[in-house]
Structure 1
Amino acid sequence: MKAERKRWGHYKDKRDWKEYNERLVKRGEMYLNFDFLESWAEDVDSLNNGKVGSPFEYPESLMTFLGFMHVMLGVDYRGLEGFVRGLRKFVGEIKVPDYSTICRRVNALRLEITETLLGHQGEEVVISLDGSGIKVSNRGEWMRKQWKVRRGWIKVHLAVDKGKKQCVAIEVTDESVGGQEKFKPLVEEADRNIRAKGGRVAQANADGIYDMRDNFNTLDETGITPAIRIRKNASSRARGCPLRKKHVREYRELGYKPWRKKYGYGFRWRVEGNFSAVKRLAGEYVVATKRANVFKEVVMKFLFYNSILKHDAEGELPWRIGAG
């Protein structure tokens, strides 16, 4: 007689809906916070301090705000010029940048990931790593299927903090680069960024595609506990990686489910949740055409989403991340 399998049953959402609804309402309110108008002159003076050549006329906070509207809300550069014109009718005389200036300044923004992160003072942080694709245009699947038009993908490699659900490291490549090649730079970047916020990376979760000796050695060198799912045909020999040998044997002794429970491997979905949230908010495609600007736009999507989460927790406006 077969053992009766327990079904998952209906998922019960335990979130505080009152708090969640209010958080989303405050995000809408955030879009109409034009605090950069109050510090316009001061911010411009700061930009021009020691500058050689033509002086800046527009503050970095304005350009970060316009970059946020472009990347997260899908307003094109000409539309942004019109937005500032309309804003002038309500707030008095401000200088309106033309769309080419907006495009140039937005693509030159220097957004630092550490400025978008919440604090980790004294925390042992668990990160999850994965990759996903972003379309290089908004063409529909019909064009792709009917006319065999294929423009490729942009590959995004992320490390996401389990607790705060923020991206703590990001690498952007074309579709030819596999996730295995970006494991080490992601782990090292995540560790630097978390340490800059007062914590340390204690564990890294990743699926079987990252089951490689080099990746285990990277974690061994940085003192990070691996929670990488082992491939079915994995060898238990060390071959230059004692940590992987130990991990493979433990995985086989415990079995998948007890191993998953021990390491909290199920929380690896946090990284998939980050991808999903960004794609729903900012779209699954880019509008830039130059390679450098395409990569920049992708990074901005994830850093601006980080800044939204920071606003939810601390009230800091997203366009202040590029104003420093």
Structure 2
Amino acid sequence: MSARWGKPYHDHRDWPRYNEALVVRGEFYLDLGQFRTWDQELAVMNRGKRGGRYLIPESFVRWLVIWKQLIDYRGLEGITRKMAELRLIPTYPDYTTLWHRLHRLTPALKMPKYSELELASDGTGLKTSNAGEYRIFRYGDPDARQKKHLVVVITADVRRKKVIGIEVHIEGKGHSEPQTAVAHLRDATERGYRVRKFYRDGAYDTHGMFSALHTMGTEPVITIRKNAQSRGRHSPRGTSIDGKPFGNTKPLAMRRGRSRSATVFGGRGPRGSSRR
């Protein structure tokens, strides 16, 4: 048997600590700590409320979201019914109530605690031709020339791989990837963060992108398209790219053979290299 090609791999992980982390991960599904404040949370939710009273606190609904990834709504009702029988909770909701409560939740990202960011953005799509009947029914039939798919645009910190913005829309019904990235950058700036650099490929080589980065004081690290025109030499797009005049087509995003944006989003590097 031939030796393994490439550089030898040395595993420096602390195995006892890593093994314990895998065990503790299972506690995530049965974290019942929020049930201790059941009555207090309901009192706050029902304060000044008109009509029917809330019987299930919001924290319990968020906990059920975790189980919803594995079980349907009727199964969730079964779980909560058994928890009520064991006197872990005072009452349980029916599956219709769970459907409405879960769909009313507004997801929120946990923003980083540090103030300086180096961001990258990327968009992807889920084609309906590789999906089941529901997605084809919901977003269009490829055979009927309605090849619509979901577009997911994610903006994250390239150094610590912390997500700071997510946008999901149907193809053709939402903003473009550069426009979405600008919205995420502005939101981060309004929250008090300083965005030092923004990494991306030629798809983000637009005047609007560079103008927005210039306004926010962010250094653009964007690959210039090969067919870029030479007009607009004094625009932010032409003058703010790494201090070089407009027209330089050097891929500024590449660092040591791999782009930061490709690293944070887990893509493949140049020349077919892959991330270990």
1:153 and 2:149 aligned: yes
1:76 and 2:56 aligned: no
Match of 2:271 in 1: none
* Deviation per residue, 1:18-53 (Å, 9 max, x gap): 354443432222111111221111111111112122
Cα distance, 1:134 vs. partner?
4.0
Cα distance, 1:229 vs. partner?
1.2
* Deviation per residue, 1:274-311 (Å, 9 max, x gap): 9xxxxxxxxxxxxxxxxxxxxxxxxxxxxxxxxxxxxx
1:38 and 2:36 aligned: yes
* Structure 1: runs of 5 or more not aligned: 1-7, 275-324
Root-mean-square deviation over aligned CA pairs: 3.4
Match of 2:198 in 1: 204
Relative contact order (alpha carbons < 8 A, sep ≥ 6): 1 or 2 greater? 1
* Structure 2: runs of 5 or more not aligned: 268-276
* Deviation per residue, 1:206-242 (Å, 9 max, x gap): 1110100110000000111111111112234435623
User: Aligned residue pairs: how many?
Assistant: 252
Match of 1:131 in 2: 123
1:26 and 2:14 aligned: no
Structure with greater Cα Rg = 2
The question of whether the paired residues in 2 share the 8 Å contact of 1:129 and 1:268 is answered with: yes
Percent identical across equivalent pairs? 28
- The 5 Å alignment of 1:1-324 reads 9-10=6-7, 12=9, 16=13, 18=15, 19-70=17-68, 73-92=69-88, 94-113=90-109, 116-120=110-114, 123-134=115-126, 139=132, 148=143, 152-176=148-172, 177=174, 178-193=176-191, 195=192, 199-238=193-232, 241-247=235-241, 249=244, 255-256=250-251, 260-261=254-255, 266-273=259-266
The question of whether the paired residues in 1 share the 8 Å contact of 2:213 and 2:220 is answered with: yes
The one-letter code of the counterpart of 2:188 is A
Gap change, CA 1:217 and 1:22, over 3 Å in 2: farther
| Cα distance between partner residues in 2 of 1:46 and 1:222 | 40
Equivalent residue of 2:81, what SS? Answer: helix
| Cα distance between partner residues in 2 of 1:36 and 1:209 | 45
| Cα distance between partner residues in 1 of 2:216 and 2:254 | 22
| Cα distance between partner residues in 1 of 2:219 and 2:8 | 30
Q: TM-score normalized by structure 2?
A: 0.77
Q: Which has the higher helix share?
A: 1
Gap change, CA 1:16 and 1:108, over 3 Å in 2: same
* Deviation per residue, 1:82-131 (Å, 9 max, x gap): 11122234344521101111110111113332xx22311xx421111011
